[in-house]
């Protein structure tokens, strides 16, 4: 079976199950362009390795491409298109690029001071609300989507807890908050 036919079949299958599958489809089409319209049996592990590596160091893109190919080959083997999977036996870890950063008190003060001058009557949120939101994000370590989704019922001032619902990966959690943040939130409850 030709690579282009097998990838088109896999993309159609995944999209028929309700998945958007846009990035994955783009990766598979890129594979077809890189290797040409060869049969699945002609593809060797070194071909796949060259496609995955691309130009430059290992990145998160490598992992996404690998994951897409892993799913594609699982699909191809299950349907009897091929017997041998030409994926590299070992998966390198990309270098860690994200370095967490904790603001100093002075930097946080500069952020809070910058809120006042941005008072624009066309904006729907007043400076006090911006200030409270920033302190809530920092003091409770919330994601912006979590903070914006909070309701009055989610904040328990007496217990000093914020109930964050349906957060990333659809989890719910209780976040303890300190007395300074309780005092600030108490002005909005």
Q: Is 168 a catalytic residue?
A: yes
Q: Which two tokens stand for residue 8?
A: 């088109």
Q: How far apart are CA 75 and CA 70, in angstroms?
A: 9
CB contact at 8 A, 134 and 112: yes
Give the active site residue among 70, 143, 173, 183: 143
For residue 174, the cross-strand partners are 163
Output Rg (C-alpha) for the chain, integer angstroms. 25
Q: Is 2 a catalytic residue?
A: no
Q: How far apart are CA 95 and CA 157, in angstroms?
A: 42
Give the active site residue among 55, 93, 105, 168: 168
Q: Which two tokens stand for residue 150?
A: 């909070």
CB contact at 8 A, 143 and 167: yes
Other C-beta atoms lying within 10 Å of the C-beta of residue 133? 18
Residues tagged active-site: 143, 168
């Amino acid at each position: 079976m030709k690579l282009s036919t097998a990838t088109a079949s896999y993309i159609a299958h995944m999209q028929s199950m309700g998945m958007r599958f846009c990035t994955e489809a783009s990766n598979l089409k890129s594979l077809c362009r890189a290797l040409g319209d060869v049969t699945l049996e002609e593809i060797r592990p070194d071909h796949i390795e060259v496609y995955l590596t691309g130009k430059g160091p290992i990145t998160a893109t490598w992992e996404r491409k690998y994951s897409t190919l892993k799913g594609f080959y699982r699909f191809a083997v299950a349907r009897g298109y091929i017997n041998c999977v030409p994926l590299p036996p070992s998966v390198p870890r990309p270098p860690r690029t994200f370095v967490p950063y904790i603001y100093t008190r002075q930097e946080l003060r500069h952020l809070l001071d910058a809120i006042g001058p941005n008072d624009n009557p066309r904006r729907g949120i007043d400076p006090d609300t911006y200030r409270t939101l920033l302190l809530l994000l920092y003091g409770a370590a919330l994601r912006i989507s979590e903070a914006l989704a909070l309701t009055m019922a989610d904040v328990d001032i007496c217990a000093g807890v914020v109930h964050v619902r349906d957060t990333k990966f659809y989890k719910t959690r209780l976040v303890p908050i300190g007395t300074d943040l309780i005092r600030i939130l108490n002005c909005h409850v």
